Amino acid sequence: MNVFHRLTRAATFGTVLLASASTWAQQSIVVASTTSTEQSGLFGHVLPEFKKASGIDVKVVALGTGQAIDMARRGDADVLFVHDKVAEEKFVADGFAARRQEVMYNDFVLVGPKADPAKTTGKDVVEALKKVAAANAPFISRGDKSGTHAAELRFWKMAGLDSKGSGYKECGCGMGPALNIASSSGGYALTDRGTWLNFKNRGDLAVLVEGDKRLFNQYGVMLVSAARHPQVKTADGQKFIDWVTGPAGQSAIASYKIGGEQLFFPNAMK
């Protein structure tokens, strides 16, 4: 083989390698999800395992659940991974996904100053909110149409109050920033336990109300409909859903712990 043929063969082989590498690099999906899955550190723990198994990169856009759903409705995401069951079921009913699959759960907790000036400590979240309102205590609401905000509003509605108290403030922000405000102002806040366990700037905050069955927090995952949005990466998006709801993904979720405490509990295979 002469030099020309050897160089041509090498160039062709190199082109094939580059094309293969390019194809591999282009395997990616966009997941619209909640701030809690990102800020808790869960995705940082499980997504490398999915990449290793599939070769698919997952680009997470972490928003409040309402904003994440809006993003998926626009077709700007391939997969939706959130925690507001009522809104998720409407997303499916409106034809933006064929089905909703449950993935995992944890719970909400009410946090506030350790001294608990509003005397909320206990198990009943609705009674706790009544005491916060009666005391006009600072309460920091996310106010961002997130799954946590939706849950908070349900609890206030159950309380049946005309006013949430003069201390009630909406920040229009994610869970981490809301906790920062509560920490600096000595306020109360409703948070998912996962974000709380990963939150470092607690200051004088502590968990005051937990264990109420109404604080249960379920997460669901949906493949955005290609019938609505043809650009959706259906095959790769379904691979992610199959993985996260299958044995490997469920095991990865269960193995994520902070200080020995498990943050999320897989239940896709119940």
In-domain check, residue 2:
no
Domain annotation covers residue 143: yes
Which single residue is written with the structure tokens 């698919």? 56
Residue 111 lies in a domain: yes
| Shared domain check, 209 and 111 | yes
80 token code pair: 């939706």
Rounded distance, CA 270 to CA 257, Å?
21
- The per-residue pLDDT for 266 is 98
Contacts of residue 108, Cβ cutoff 8 Å, sequence gap at least 6: 125, 148, 151, 190, 191, 192, 193, 215, 217
Residues 209, 146 share a domain: yes
Shared domain check, 246 and 203: no
Mean pLDDT of 85-103: 97
Closest by CA position to 136, among listed 168, 108, 161: 168
Q: What is the dihedral of CA 96, 104, 174, 148, to 10 degrees?
A: 80
Residues 112 and 179 in one domain: yes
Band the pLDDT of 20: cuts 50, 70, 90. very low
| Number of domains forming the structure of the chain | 2
CATH number at residue 88: 3.40.190.10
Same domain, 86 and 51: yes
What's the domain range around 55? 27-105+218-266
171-218 pLDDT, tens digit each: 999 999 999 999 999 999 999 999 999 999 999 999 999 999 999 999
